[in-house]
Amino acid sequence: MSEEVIRPPESAPTGQSPIADFTYRTYDGPLYTRRIRWWIVALAGIRLSMKKKGFWVLAGLAVLPYVITVVQLYLQSRASTLTGGQTPNPLNMPLPGQQYSSQFFQAFVFQAFFLFILTLLAGTGTIASDNQANALQVYLSKPITKGDYLAGKMMGVAIVIFAVAFVPALSLYAYCLLSFVNEGFFKNEPWLIVRIIAACSVPALVFSALIVGFSAWSKTPRMAGAIFAGFYFMSGIVAGIYWGVRYRGNLGQGNLERHFSVDGVIQGLVQNAYGVTQRMMTGNPRTGALEQVSMPPPNAWVMLALGLGLVALGLMAARARIRAVEVVRG
């Protein structure tokens, strides 16, 4: 943990002070030069997020998709009893080896919007508020580097998003473990817990890096939030229109192009993490009939490159903006 510790001499008192003593005294306790200095910054960010009521509201809303999935899994497990032996809806039938992954993926897709809102809540002020309050002067006059500050700010948001995404997913995993272990839960999908961790890390890293980048270039959290939300929605709209226009005859194609947005990259990476093939209904323009098309995960390497690109973009933008403390004017 510590690189270097400045320790007091043996004789120096380090214990508690008498409460009545209001005089400033020289500090003789230890001072650590931590290797993970960013953790202090991250922890402060997490504490500030958790103090907001909105955080708990969104954390509660983010659990809902998983609650619905629990109900769905329960009903499916009871399907033969409830339908009197009839087969369940074929759309709900997952492909072999994806019974549980597909449920987790569906829950994530619904949860993603709440994670986006949570990013706005927890992330817009990370650096923008510091810019507004000139807090960089405080940070950079302490023994931390620009990199420590940036990593701390990003991880403060990333950990919050990851926790809100991961805790309900872990709860669902625990439910499946207790309920379906005899029905091949482990045997069919042994790496599911690893997939869940990977899937929850994706929005945490992409959202946090981007919001830190936008926040660093703004003087107010509101402005940072507006620009981030604009970028998020516009990229989705543009990618959606491009996909719809180019592949209007066959929406089963253009799976990669469909993901060329912030939301698309996150969903594409999560789909790859879970390794599931989506099914969706589209209208055939010639016959007018509804058709079911399969959407396999988009090319993992392209998605990974885009995801890393977004993370790098956010971090580089933030790094370019953070400057060493201005000590004296004149």
Partner 1 sequence: MPVATISNLTVKYGRKTAVEDLTVDVPDGCIGLLGPNGAGKTTLIKTLLGFLKPARGGGELLGLNVASEGLRIRQRIGLMPEIDCHIPGMNAVTFVAYAGELSGMPRSQAMRRAHETLEYCGLGEARYRNVETYSTGMKQKVKLAQAMVHGPKLLFLDEPTNGLDPAGRDEMLELIRDISHAKGVNVIVSSHLLPDIERTCDHVIVMRHGRIATEGEVAALRKTKGVQMDVELRFPQEIEAFVKSMVLRQAELVSTSGTRCRVSLMENGADPGSVLFDAARESGAQIRGFQSAQRSLEDVFLEAVE
Pairing of strands 290-295, 31-34: unpaired
Which range, of 127-135, 176-184, 190-198, 264-272, touches partner 1 by CB under 8 A? 127-135
Residues 107 and 172 sit within 8 Å (Cβ to Cβ)? yes
- Picking from 200, 202, 303, 193, the residue whose alpha carbon sits closest to that of residue 259 is 303
Least spacing, CB of residue 271 vs partner 1, in Å: 37
CB closer to partner 1 out of 9 and 85: 9
Dist CA 205 CA 108 (whole Å): 15
CA pair distance 50, 56, nearest whole angstrom: 7
CB of residue 123 to partner 1, shortest distance in Å: 14
For partner 1, give the closer residue by CB, 4 or 291: 4
When the beta carbons of 148 and 263 are compared against partner 1, the nearer one is 148
CB of residue 134 vs partner 1: minimum separation in angstroms? 4
| The one among 11, 26, 81, 89 contacting partner 1 by CB under 8 A | 26
Give the count of residues interacting with partner 1 (CB under 8 A). Answer: 48
| Position among 12, 13, 31, 237 found at the interface with partner 1 (CB under 8 A) | 31
Q: Nearer Cβ to partner 1, position 4 or 183?
A: 4
Amino acid at 304: L
Three-class SS state of 151: helix
Candidates 129-137, 163-171, 197-205, 210-218 — which segment interacts with partner 1 by CB under 8 A? 129-137
Q: Give the footprint of partner 1 on residues 258-317 (CB under 8 A).
A: none
Among candidate residues 265, 288, 268, the one with its CA nearest the CA of residue 276: 268
| Beta-carbon count within 10 A of 286 CB | 7
Kindly state whether residue 135 participates in binding partner 1, applying the rule CB under 8 A.
Answer: yes
Report the length, in residues, of the chain: 330
CB of 225 to partner 1, least distance (A): 15
E-state strands within 177-325: 278-283, 290-295
Cα–Cα distance, 307 to 112 (Å, whole number): 16
Q: How far is the CB of 256 from partner 1 (least distance, A)?
A: 42
Binding positions for partner 1, 37-56, rule CB under 8 A: 37, 40-41, 44, 48, 51
The residue behind tokens 């005089």 is: 23
Residue 33 or 294 with smaller CB distance to partner 1 = 33
Q: How far apart are CA 173 and CA 324, in angstroms?
A: 46
Cβ closer to partner 1: 221 or 298? Answer: 221
**Which amino acid belongs to residue 26?**
T
Contact 268, 259 (CB under 8 A): yes
Rounded to whole angstroms, the Cα distance separating 306 from 156 reads 23
Could you give the CA distance from residue 129 to residue 115 in angstroms, rounded to a whole number? 21
Rounded to the nearest whole angstrom, what is the least distance from the CB of residue 18 to partner 1 in the complex? 10
| Tokens coding 329 | 């004017």
Euclidean distance between CA atoms 143 and 33, whole angstroms: 8
Could you tell me the two tokens for 302? Answer: 């392209």
Smallest separation, CB 61 to partner 1 (Å):
23
**Chain residues 53-82 in contact with partner 1, contact rule CB under 8 A:** none
Task: Report the nearest approach of partner 1 to the CB of residue 215 (Å).
Answer: 12
Q: Residues 141 to 180: which contact partner 1 by CB under 8 A?
A: 141-145
Report residue 188 CA to chain centroid gap. 27
Residue 42 or 62 having the CB closest to partner 1: 42
- Mask of contacts with partner 1, 215-234, x by CB under 8 A? --------------------
Q: Which residues here bind partner 1, judged by CB under 8 A?
A: 4, 6, 16-17, 21-34, 37, 40-41, 44, 48, 51, 125, 129-130, 132-145, 324-330
